Amino acid sequence: MKIRTLSGYALAVLATSMSVPSAFADTLTRDNGAAVGDNQNSQTAGPNGPALLQDVQLLQKLQRFDRERIPERVVHARGTGVHGEFTASSNISELTKAKVFTPGTHTPVFVRFSSVVHGNHSPETLRDPRGFATKFYTADGNWDLVGNNFPTFFIRDAIKFPDMVHAFKPDPRTNLDDDSRRFDFFSHVPEATRTLTLLYSNEGTPAGYRFMDGNGVHAYKFVNAKGEVHYVKFHWKSLQGLKNLDPAQAEQTQGKDYAHMTHDLVTAINKGDYPKWDLYIQVLKPEDLAKFAFDPLDATKIWPDVPEQKIGQMVLNKNVDNFFQETEQVAMAPSNVVPGIEPSEDRLLQGRVFSYADTQMYRLGANGMSLPINRPQVAVNNGNQDGALNSGHTTGGVNYEPSRLNPRPADDNARYSQAALSGSTQQAKIQREQNFKQAGDLYRSYSPKEQQDLINSFGGSLADTDTESKHIMLSYLYKADPAYGTGVTKVAKGDLEKVKQLAAKLQD
C-alpha cells in the first residue's frame, strides 16, 4: 500500500486526532474516500449528449479547483519558506526567561522570506524591502520574529501604514506603478529618509535571500524571572556575507530569471549547502531610553553605539514539501510572543500586534493557528472553540475557566510585565524625531560606487515627480547630507537653490 492522497503532515494530524486508517489504498479517490472509476472522460448522455449533473467526480474536481485560492497577503505576498533549526549559545537568563535562549537548546524554525509590494508571482528583482520572518516552535509556545532585511522602517506610527502601502502599490485606476504617487506621500514623511535611502541603495535589490541580514527593527522587551525589563533589538547576521545587485545587474538578472532569490535558496538547500545566520541582540535598560538624542523606541532608528552580543545561530536545512500548505498558509505574527518576550511601546509595533492576527483570521480563518505549519509543538489548552474548518477532536466538556471539574490555572510566571504610567491620553508626534541624521550617516557609510548607484536610482525615480513633491524630497536628502542631496538633485533635474532653501527650514 502506498500513501497517496494525504500529505505527511495531514496524515500525522489525522492519525493522532482521529481513528482513521493511517495508510490509504493506491487508487484515485474522491474527497469522501470513494474510488474514482474514470478520471479522463466526463459522464455524458450518449456520444453527443450534454454532461450529466450526476457525475459527482467531475463536479467535485471543478468545485475544488474553483476554490484553490485563498486571499493573498495584502503585503509580502511573494515569499519563499524553508525549515531549519535555531541553537541558543549564550546564557542570557538575567535578561529573559524565554526557554528558547537556554544555551544548547535546539528549536525548530520556519523562515519565510518575501518581497513586499507586489503580488505572489511578481519579479524578485524589483526594488523592495525584503521580509525575513521566523517562527520558532519553542517549548514555551510559538514565538515569531517578523522582521525585514532593513534595520529601520519608513514610518513610526501604525496609523500611517495603510496609506503608505496604498502609495507604494500600483495606481488603483491603471494598476501601473507610479513614483509620483509615492513621493506625493513620502514628501509628507521626513522620518522615511533613512529607509528610503536603503531602498534606493543596492540594498534594495539583494542578490539572494542567503546574502542578506535580518532585523527585528523594533525594540522588544525582554523580561527575566524577577519581572525585570530590558529593551532589545534583534539582528540576524548572514554567514554567507552580504551581496546586492547593482542597477545594471538587477536589470540583467530580471531578463534571465525573475525568481533569482528563490532559485538561489532552494538550490543551495537541495545541494546540502545550508545557509546560516547568527542572532545578535542589542540591550538597553529602561533608564537608558532617555539618554539618546532620538527616541530609541522609534522604528525609523537604529541604535548606532550600542554593542551587539551573539546569542545563537540558525541553520536552514529543508525546503518545503508543499508551497501552499507551508509557505502560503504560514501565519507569522508579532502577537505570537512567549513569556520573557513582549512588545515594547513602539507605536508601529503596537499596531502590528493587532494587524497580523486580524488579517490572518480573514486570510486563513479562525482556526488557521491549528494548521500543521502554524500549530505549536506544545499543547494548546483553552476555551477557544468552533469556527469555520475546525479540524480538532475535542472530547472534554469544560470549555470555560475557572473550573473545579477540570482546573486549568493560568501560569503566574507568564504574567505580563508591569510598567509605570503617567500623564493623559493624547494624539501627538513623538518627541526627539531626528529625521535626517542617520540617513546622512548611512549615505556616508557607502563606497563611492554605492553612493553613485544610490544617487542614480533615487534621482531616476524622482525625475518624473511633480515639482513641489520632488523638491521637498530632495530637501530631505540634502539635509541628510549635502553631497547626497546635490547628486540626486542633478539626476532628478531639480533646482539646487530651491532644494537648499527648503533644507534650511528643516529641523535636525
Which residues have a catalytic role annotated?
A: 76, 148
Residue from 84, 147, 214, 487 in contact with ligand HEM (CB under 6 A): 147
User: Of the two residues 212 and 472, which places its CB atom closer to ligand HEM in the complex?
Assistant: 212
Q: Is 438 within 8 Å of 301 (Cβ atoms)?
A: yes
Q: Which of 57, 107, 138, 148 binds ligand HEM (CB under 6 A)?
A: 148
**At its nearest, how many Å lie between ligand HEM and the CB of residue 233?**
11
Based on the shown chain and the rule CB under 6 A, indicate whether residue 297 belongs to the binding site for ligand HEM: no
Helix axis angle, 448-462 to 247-256, nearest 10°: 70
Cα–Cα distance, 89 to 52 (Å, whole number):
65
Residue span binding ligand HEM (CB under 6 A) among the ranges 198-206, 278-286, 352-360, 445-453: 352-360
C-alpha cell recorded at residue 188: 509628507
Q: Which is nearer to ligand HEM, 75 or 199 (CB)?
A: 75
**Grid cell 551573539 in the structure block, residue:** 310
**Among the listed residues 403, 365, 363, the one whose alpha carbon sits nearest the alpha carbon of residue 382:** 403
Rounded Cα distance between 106 and 503, Å, is: 51
Judged by CB under 6 A, does residue 75 bind ligand HEM?
yes
User: Could you say whether residue 158 binds ligand HEM (CB under 6 A)?
Assistant: yes
Please say whether the beta carbons of 466 and 184 come within 8 A. yes
Q: Closest Cα to residue 375, out of 5, 9, 6, 3? A: 9
Cβ 365 to ligand HEM shortest distance, Å: 12
Q: Which is nearer to ligand HEM, 316 or 488 (CB)?
A: 316
Using CA atoms, how far apart are residues 73 and 117, in angstroms rounded to an integer? 10
By CB under 6 A, name the one of 131, 208, 459, 494 that touches ligand HEM: 131
* CA dist list (Å): 252 to 64, 120, 200, 212, 451: 40, 22, 18, 20, 20
364-403 residues near ligand HEM, rule: CB under 6 A: none
Q: Which residue is nearest to ligand HEM (CB)?
A: 131
Stretch near ligand HEM under the rule CB under 6 A, chosen from 243-251, 357-365, 391-399, 441-449: 357-365
- The C-alpha atoms of residue 375 and residue 257 are separated, in whole angstroms, by 35
Are 269 and 234 a contacting pair, CB within 8 Å?
no
Taking the C-alpha atoms of residue 311 and residue 56, their distance in angstroms, rounded to an integer, is: 57
**332 scored as a contact of ligand HEM (CB under 6 A):** yes
Our finding on whether 122 is near ligand HEM (CB under 6 A) is: no
**From the CB of 462, what's the least distance to ligand HEM, in Å?**
24
Nearer to ligand HEM, 299 or 474 (CB): 299
Q: How far apart are CA 57 and CA 43, in angstroms?
A: 9
For residue 50, give the C-alpha cell. Answer: 450534454
Contacting residues toward ligand HEM, per CB under 6 A = 73-76, 79, 112, 114, 131, 133, 146-148, 153, 158, 161, 217, 299, 330-332, 348, 351-352, 355-356, 359-360, 363
